[in-house]
């Protein structure tokens, strides 16, 4: 059913891009009611406006906290046009019908970001705006509600194309977006009072949904909610896909664990090559050598700006994405030669206090896996040497970022073999050894990391046979002593950390 907009209530915080709408409403003879700064803005556009105070016969009171909370405003919005009793009461109390409500909300989230002063934050909890939005949204059969400046363009299009008339579907669409705005706003306020800790309800609201080409597979829909511009400057390449985003997150989570110059290659969220070296080029060469086969089509990440020499070396292989804190001009020239290659300049770390996933028609929430070990307990034949400790710490971090069950083999701060996503820990070790052999790495003097305890001594036995001299693991098995005793008897160092790193 088409309905003509004959009257409007406009009271907004953000007036950007509102000029055309106000002028269009004026041209169409719409009666406009407004308040304070918005009224002044409307009149500056040369459009007549009725002050809400003149409608209600009440001034704005309590420092502006109460302006529109009045029956003559809400009655005009909530009245059902097909209900004779509602219309009779509008006539009885001299309440005008209001067909369009343009109201946004005080900038609560922006205030929280910019100050810790509680009173300033509390004052940005909108009352009247939310009430007006909900009222207009509830009565969408008769009223158009525009609850955000992001919807101004949609409203202007309707006003222009239909000369101020709206369909029921138009009004329903505007209402749906309006209730989304309110829901997001309420979650932000709730999280502030909860100090961003979990409450009795699972509440997450992330704006700016961006539709991906598809999800993990072409038959699945994919949407990303978030603002990538906060984290990256996208310097080159095609749009990031669903799978790209998952891999980019894994890459960023991994690389931010390292302070030394480090390069890593990610494939399907697992690290397949990583090394720390004095120069970025050396780190790249060593990371690539760890698994040249898996690196094909991978996601590359480093913690130093890309220079021309490194760029030229990287340019020799096919990869999808390169993430770095910066790119030299000459490096960019080299890397931008291929059209679809994605280059991301990372501006800040990726931080999340919690992790969650949907399971069994519900949601699992947990703390992010921060930290690498609770303790450093040398329980083997002797304490790890300084060189072994450096490699063990490196291996432990890498193993933390591999899918469980996971084993990482490291030598001279270079990943030389890994086993991940296996159904048994011994299979993960066998896979890691096979990978090391595939690229001609000798395991003499290497170290081994495990994401969880060894249920038997079979893994340390096999490691010893391969020449591995030091092991790091969380411990916690009822048979820990079997592995400890084997290490003691065969001159191996073993460190227990007390911190497991399952990654399912």
Give 265's strand partners.
273, 300
Q: Where are the alpha helices (DSSP H) in 227-315?
A: 242-255, 280-290, 308-314
Look up residue 322 and give its two tokens. 């390169």
Give 414's strand partners.
275
Instruction: In whole angstroms, give the CA distance from residue 95 to residue 56.
Output: 9
Cα dihedral 61/62/64/65 (nearest 10) = -110
Q: In a 10 Å sphere around its CB, with 0-12 CB exposed, 13-18 middle and 19+ buried, how is residue 22 labelled?
A: buried
Cβ of 161: how many Cβ atoms within 10 Å? 9
- C-alpha radius of gyration, the chain, whole number: 31
Instruction: In whole angstroms, give the CA distance from residue 193 to residue 176.
Output: 26
CA angle, residues 176, 145, 3, in degrees to nearest 5: 105
Instruction: In whole angstroms, give the CA distance from residue 417 to residue 293.
Output: 13
The helix or strand, by DSSP H or E, that contains position 86, with its residue range, turns out to be helix 84-92
Catalytic residue among 6, 23, 138, 234: 138
Instruction: In whole angstroms, give the CA distance from residue 73 to residue 301.
Output: 57
Give 8's strand partners.
32, 100
Instruction: In whole angstroms, give the CA distance from residue 102 to residue 43.
Output: 16
Catalytic residue among 124, 149, 234, 268: 268
Q: Where are the alpha helices (DSSP H) in 328-473?
A: 329-335, 386-400, 425-438, 458-465
Q: What is the DSSP letter of 63?
A: G
Instruction: In whole angstroms, give the CA distance from residue 177 to residue 183.
Output: 10
Instruction: In whole angstroms, give the CA distance from residue 135 to residue 143.
Output: 9
Do the Cβ atoms of 286 and 249 come closer than 8 Å? no
Q: Phi first, then psi: give them for residue 224, nearest 5 degrees.
A: -110, 125
338 is catalytic: no
234 is catalytic: no
Instruction: Give catalytic residues, as residue numbers.
Output: 138, 268
């Amino acid at each position: 059913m088409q309905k003509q907009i004959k009257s409007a209530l406009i009271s907004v915080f953000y007036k950007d891009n509102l000029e055309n709408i106000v002028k269009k409403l004026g041209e169409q003879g719409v009666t406009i009611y407004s308040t304070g700064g918005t009224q002044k803005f409307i009149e500056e556009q040369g459009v007549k406006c009725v002050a809400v105070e003149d409608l209600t016969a009440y001034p704005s009171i309590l420092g502006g906290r109460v302006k529109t909370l009045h029956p003559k405003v809400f009655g005009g919005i909530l009245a059902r046009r097909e209900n004779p009793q509602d219309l009779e009461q509008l006539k009885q109390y001299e309440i005008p019908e209001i067909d369009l409500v343009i109201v946004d909300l005080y900038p609560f989230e922006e205030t929280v970001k910019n100050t810790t002063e509680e009173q300033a934050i509390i004052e940005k909890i909108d009352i009247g705006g939310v009430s007006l939005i909900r009222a207009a949204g509830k009565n969408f059969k008769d009223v158009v509600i525009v609850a955000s400046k992001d919807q101004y363009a949609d409203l202007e299009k309707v006003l222009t194309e239909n000369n101020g008339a709206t369909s029921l579907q138009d009004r329903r669409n505007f209402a749906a977006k309006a209730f989304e705005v309110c829901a997001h706003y309420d979650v932000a306020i709730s999280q502030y009072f909860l100090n961003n800790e979990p409450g009795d309800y699972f509440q997450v609201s992330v704006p700016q949904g961006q539709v991906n080409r598809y999800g993990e597979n072409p038959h699945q829909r994919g949407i990303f909610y978030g603002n990538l511009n906060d984290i990256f400057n996208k310097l080159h390449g095609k749009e990031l896909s669903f799978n790209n985003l998952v891999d980019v997150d894994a890459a960023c989570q991994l690389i931010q664990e390292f302070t030394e110059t480090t390069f890593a290659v990610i494939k399907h969220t697992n690290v397949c090559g990583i090394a720390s070296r004095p120069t970025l080029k050396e780190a790249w060469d060593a990371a690539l050598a760890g698994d040249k086969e898996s690196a094909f089509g991978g996601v590359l990440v480093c913690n130093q700006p890309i220079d021309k020499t490194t760029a030229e070396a990287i340019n020799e292989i096919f990869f999808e994405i390169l993430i770095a804190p910066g790119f030299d001009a000459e490096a960019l020239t080299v890397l931008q030669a291929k059209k679809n290659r994605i280059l991301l300049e990372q501006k800040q770390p990726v931080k999340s206090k919690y992790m969650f996933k949907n399971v069994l028609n519900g949601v699992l929430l947990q703390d992010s896996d921060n930290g690498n070990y609770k303790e450093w307990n040398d329980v083997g034949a002797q304490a790890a040497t300084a060189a072994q400790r450096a490699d063990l710490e490196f291996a432990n971090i890498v193993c933390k970022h591999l899918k469980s069950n996971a084993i990482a083999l490291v030598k001279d701060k270079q990943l030389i073999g890994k086993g991940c996503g296996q159904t048994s820990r011994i299979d993960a070790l066998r896979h890691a050894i096979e990978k090391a052999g595939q690229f001609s790495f000798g395991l003499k003097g290497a170290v081994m990391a495990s994401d969880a305890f060894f249920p038997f001594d079979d893994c340390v036995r096999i490691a010893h046979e391969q020449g591995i001299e030091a092991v790091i693991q969380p411990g916690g098995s009822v048979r820990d002593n079997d592995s400890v005793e084997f290490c003691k008897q065969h001159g191996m160092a073993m460190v227990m950390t007390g911190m497991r790193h399952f990654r399912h």
